[in-house]
């Protein structure tokens, strides 16, 4: 009996103490995962609904604005319709004042002229859209001081100036008169040699006139360059004589510069006076300038080159268009008493 009891205890079913396996996603149960997924979907849906709501508000705002514009146009249309009815009634009844008849006749002529203009444009292949484009072009031309009447000439000059070069970078050539090739000036002097004066009056003037015409320019810059040899003079008289020399009241020989800047300017004035006297350049403004000893041939700044260097003693002539003035000089102002 005891053995049966003992045997019975051995054969008793064993209880399962482990729980059933649960499905896990990133450490979450299926229920928790589903809740998280639903929450994310709700966030996305809320964002989409908000975006759609903003779009609807924007559309409603635009619609309201358009409705206001339509209301204004409708009001104008109604007013114009009333005016038309009133005019028609006056025309039918013959009850038009002299002023009304003049207005009607004027408007009728304008309508007829407008129709004739449109028909003429249509015959030439133009459209109303071309008129709108032309108005934009006219506005740009006015900003640059060009009227529609003179626009064809301006365009032709621009095309001519770009015809043989590199487009917008096709600048007028610089005329370089090198003293090393011919003795244009006496040493340390601004007086021209006879050969140089003859060359300026003929070949050089013709070349300048050609450049002025080709590039539509009206300014001639005459720039005097010197070498770095010091000028053997202690005092300059340019402050007292330079204006009179420019006006031809004094000969160039009266200019006594005391440095290379003054010498370059005096030589530029001598050349400018010869050019101004030529009738071929009567419509151009001649401006003498000095670069002194600063600029080497090839447009580089010198780093110091003492002594007489003939290749650096030269006159450069270039043409350009007139720029807009940045200030107005009062010609009647009292002269300054400042002495430098």
Is there a contact between 231 and 260 (Cβ–Cβ < 8 Å)?
yes
pTM here? 0.47
Picking from 82-86, 94-98, 102-106, 157-161, which range would have the lowest pLDDT averaged per residue? 157-161
pLDDT at 46: 92
User: How does pLDDT run across 54-84, given as a tens digit for each residue?
Assistant: 999 999 989 999 999 999 999 999 888 888 8
**Cα–Cα distances in Å, from 114 out to 110, 137, 139?**
6, 21, 22
Q: In the structure encoding, which two tokens stand for residue 127, read together? A: 């459209």
- Between 3.30.830.10, 1.25.40.10, 3.30.1330.60, 3.90.1150.10, what CATH number should domain 173-320 receive? 3.30.1330.60
Instruction: Provide the β-strand partners of residue 318.
Output: 221
The average confidence (pLDDT) of the chain is: 77
Domain boundaries, the chain: 29-78, 81-125, 127-170, 173-320
Tens-digit pLDDT profile for residues 277-299: 888 888 888 999 988 878 887 77
Count other Cβ atoms within 10 Å, centred on residue 172. Answer: 19
- State mean pLDDT over 155-176: 63
**Predicted confidence (pLDDT) at residue 1 exceeds the cutoff of 50:** no
Q: How confident is the model over 215-233, as a mean pLDDT?
A: 85
The residue among 161 and 116 whose pLDDT is bigger is: 116
Cα 267 from Cα 248, distance rounded (Å): 14
pLDDT band at 10 (very low <50, low <70, confident <90, very high): low
pLDDT over 90, % of the chain: 10
Q: What percent of the chain has pLDDT over 70?
A: 79
Q: Given pLDDT bands bounded at 50, 70 and 90, which one contains residue 257?
A: confident
Please report the pLDDT score of residue 179 as a whole number.
61
At residue 182, the pLDDT reads 65
More reliable by pLDDT, 41 or 151: 41
Most confident listed range (38-52, 148-162, 235-249): 38-52
Q: What is the CB neighbour count within 10 angstroms for residue 146?
A: 15
Dihedrals phi, psi of 320, to nearest 5 degrees: -160, 170
For residue 187, the model assigns a pLDDT of 66
Check pLDDT > 50 for residue 166: no
In this predicted structure, the answer to whether residue 167 has a pLDDT above a threshold of 50 is no
pLDDT of residue 190: 79
Looking at the predicted structure, is the pLDDT value of residue 198 above 90? Answer: no
The answer for residues whose C-beta is within 8 angstroms of residue 209's C-beta and 6 or more apart is 280, 281
Give the per-residue pLDDT at 52: 92
pLDDT score for 5 = 47
Among 122-126, 196-200, 222-226, 228-232, the range with the most confident prediction by mean pLDDT is 222-226
**Which has the closest alpha carbon to 179: 314, 277, 305?**
314
Please say if the pLDDT value at position 3 is more than 60. Answer: no
């Amino acid at each position: 009996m005891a053995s049966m009891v003992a045997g019975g205890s051995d054969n008793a079913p064993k209880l399962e103490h482990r729980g059933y396996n649960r499905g896990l996603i990133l450490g979450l149960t299926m229920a928790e995962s589903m809740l998280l997924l639903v929450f994310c979907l709700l966030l996305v849906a809320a964002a989409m609904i908000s975006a759609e709501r903003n779009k609807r508000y924007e559309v409603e705002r635009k619609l309201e604005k358009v409705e206001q514009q339509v209301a204004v146009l409708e009001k104008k249309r109604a007013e114009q319709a009333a005016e038309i009815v009133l005019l028609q009634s006056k025309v039918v009844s013959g009850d038009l004042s002299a002023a009304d008849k003049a207005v009607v006749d004027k408007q009728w002529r304008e309508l007829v002229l407008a129709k004739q203009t449109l028909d003429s444009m249509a015959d030439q292949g133009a459209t109303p859209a071309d008129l709108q484009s032309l108005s934009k072009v006219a506005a740009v031309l006015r900003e640059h001081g060009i009227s529609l009447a003179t626009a064809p000439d301006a365009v032709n000059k621009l095309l001519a100036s770009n015809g043989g070069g590199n487009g917008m970078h096709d600048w007028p050539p610089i005329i370089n008169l090198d003293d090393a090739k011919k003795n244009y000036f006496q040493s340390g002097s601004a007086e021209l040699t006879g050969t140089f004066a003859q060359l300026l009056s003929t070949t050089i003037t013709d070349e300048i006139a050609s450049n002025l015409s080709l590039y539509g320019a009206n300014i001639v810059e005459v720039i005097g360059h010197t070498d770095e040899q010091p000028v053997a003079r202690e005092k300059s008289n340019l402050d007292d004589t330079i204006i009179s020399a420019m006006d031809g009241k004094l000969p160039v020989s009266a200019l006594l510069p005391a440095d290379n800047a003054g010498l370059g300017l005096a030589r530029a004035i001598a050349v400018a006076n010869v050019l101004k006297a030529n009738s071929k350049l009567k419509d151009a403004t001649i401006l003498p300038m000095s670069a002194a000893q600063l600029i080497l041939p090839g447009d580089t700044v010198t780093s110091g080159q003492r002594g007489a260097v003939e290749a650096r003693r030269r006159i450069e002539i270039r043409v350009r268009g007139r720029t807009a003035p940045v200030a107005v000089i009062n010609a009647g102002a009292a002269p300054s008493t400042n002495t430098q």
